[in-house]
Structure 1
Amino acid sequence: MTESGQDGTDRETFFHAVGGEAVFRKLVHRFYQGVAGDELLRPMYPEEDLGPAEERLTLFLMQYWGGPRTYSEQRGHPRLRMRHVPFTVDRAAHDAWLRHMKVAVDELDLEPQARQQLWDYLVYAAASMVNSA
């Protein structure tokens, strides 16, 4: 799938360039394997099964990177900061989240430029969720 650039030409989305849905599902599944055993992060996921949270993050990341808009169709605007307000997200949670995400990103075997682009976004996203000292 392509999307039109500002100049009217078609360009491949990051989502498709890195392998599409399968890559994002692998990323998020591996991430939640880490979260499942994390004493700090696991309590932030009140559902007994991490499956629903895994699906939400997968759909969000796929949409963000140019894939299907399923996340917005099902949940509306992402409003990430608002959705995280009920949870204390401090520096320790930020670091733990990134630690598990780094393992997941490293296991994707992406091209270096794509890996860096994805990682830069995840670092930015993690920092923007911090809501407590």
Structure 2
Amino acid sequence: MNEIPRGTVQQQTFYELVGGEDTFRRLVHVFYQGVAADPELRAMYPEEDLGPAEDRLRLFLMQYWGGPRTYSEERGHPRLRMRHAPFAVDRAAHDAWLRHMRAAVDELALEPAHEQQLWDYLVYAAASMVNTPG
């Protein structure tokens, strides 16, 4: 029997509400397609292949939004500002990052409330990574 006991509320995480891993896989893949073609952002990725960076961002976002905790199990605490400190992240990089992320979010065609919630976080996260004037 799959009934919910009286007096309890079944809640889904944002991760589940928007489609789980498939949604975050698509989001991050489209984002990195943009990064690969953007000389300014591409320079911030020292790895020859963007695959490892794509995996890290996907796992981070999945965990942040209530999915599996694989990111922390493999890499520890996210410490996003510390991990980005070696790179000069200025306003131009911020804007480019958001431009590619906007295209990726648009590809998902999420419900408007979910899209806004995701976008608000991404805008906040991008602003938090700026560490260089200009």
Please say whether Structure 1 and Structure 2 have the same fold, judged by a TM-score greater than 0.5. yes
- 2:34 corresponds to 1:40: no
Structure with bigger gyration radius: 2
> Deviations 1:63-108 (Å, cap 9, x if unpaired)?
0000000000000000000000000000000000000000000000
Question: In structure 2, how many angstroms separate the alpha carbons of the residues matched to 1:9 and 1:125?
Answer: 31
How many corresponding residue pairs?
126
**1:20 corresponding residue in structure 2:** 20
CA RMSD of aligned residues (A): 0.8
1:51-66 to structure 2, matched below 5 A, reads: 51-66=51-66
Question: In structure 1, how many angstroms separate the alpha carbons of the residues matched to 2:17 and 2:33?
Answer: 25
**1:4 corresponding residue in structure 2:** none
Question: In structure 1, how many angstroms separate the alpha carbons of the residues matched to 2:117 and 2:21?
Answer: 17
Runs of 4+ in structure 1 over 3 Å off: none
> Unaligned stretches of 5+ in structure 2?
1-7
Q: How far apart are residue 11 of structure 1 and its match?
A: 1.2
**1:3 corresponding residue in structure 2:** none
Matched AA of 2:12: E
Q: How far apart are residue 10 of structure 1 and its match?
A: 3.7
> Deviations 1:8-54 (Å, cap 9, x if unpaired)?
74410000000000000000000000000101100100000000000
**1:11 corresponding residue in structure 2:** 11
Matched AA of 1:80: L
1:76-115 to structure 2, matched below 5 A, reads: 76-115=76-115
Aligned residues with identical type, % of pairs = 77
Question: In structure 2, how many angstroms separate the alpha carbons of the residues matched to 1:14 and 1:68?
Answer: 12
Question: In structure 2, how many angstroms separate the alpha carbons of the residues matched to 1:43 and 1:99?
Answer: 16
Matched AA of 2:108: L
> Unaligned stretches of 5+ in structure 1?
1-7
Q: Which has the higher strand share?
A: 1
Question: In structure 1, how many angstroms separate the alpha carbons of the residues matched to 2:105 and 2:86?
Answer: 27
**1:49 corresponding residue in structure 2:** 49
